[in-house]
A and B are shown apart, each in its own frame.
Chain A
């Protein structure tokens, strides 16, 4: 009985920790190893169409990059996959993801930018509707 109670408490603690971690990523800054991309490379704080990006540098170039709107709410996870890696049939497995409900996904070619200075694809897992995503361009 004591063991069962201990397990229940431990389970509850772990669930709380996981939920806390997930909710921590729902608002900027996400904490942990994530750093603001504009502090790592020469990019503006806010990227029109994407938002304010955070990344764990150890996961570059793929990411995820966690994107937040002007109010600091999580809007997407972005994975940046270089074209040359795709052409080389390189696999990217076990990529992290934010714990949020997915609304839709965009896969968009990008010519490059500081941080990933080569042609690549943005695979954008959106947690907001296309209408809300469109507001990020402002």
Chain B
């Protein structure tokens, strides 16, 4: 049962098509990973799903409803949250205010307070720095905050655009531990990742995107078997 179905999506910047007819599916309850070189269109796809970019053609079905071209806040309301590339926390706002911003569409103060406690339990550094401006956090802490902010909207589908970008290896492991935990709690996760070694440990299905098109789709096993992909993404030695 797929929660997200992207069908033949074309997104362009002016005359240049960054997505040239992308189709893929994310199964309910899965961790699905999108690999690909820089400039392949991975971020463009994430932005198109989240509604920041408007696809020129094609359909994006979320739970059966076409959300392509809807406003970002309407897409959040349906249960899709994107943790953007480079985190994009609100730097001059406190950690607590960042989390409140994530819960913007929710009215019930009681469940928001419960979720805040949950986030502080899951991300202890955020609790320590709750009153601190988000711009003063370290990269890893900002990534935690970006993930927690997205979770505050109680998404059914969590999109993550390169959560390990620019982080130290230990912090990357921490982030992936969190991804695995969220998955265990039932959140469906669609992840863009350059760090294929880490992604192989958690993801159940892989897509490879090159030059605006999906060029591979398969399980971690099939991915590791593929000679070309192994060379490009996992180094030449057999994993």
**A and B interact:** no
Q: Interface residues, chain B, CB within 8 Å of chain A?
A: none
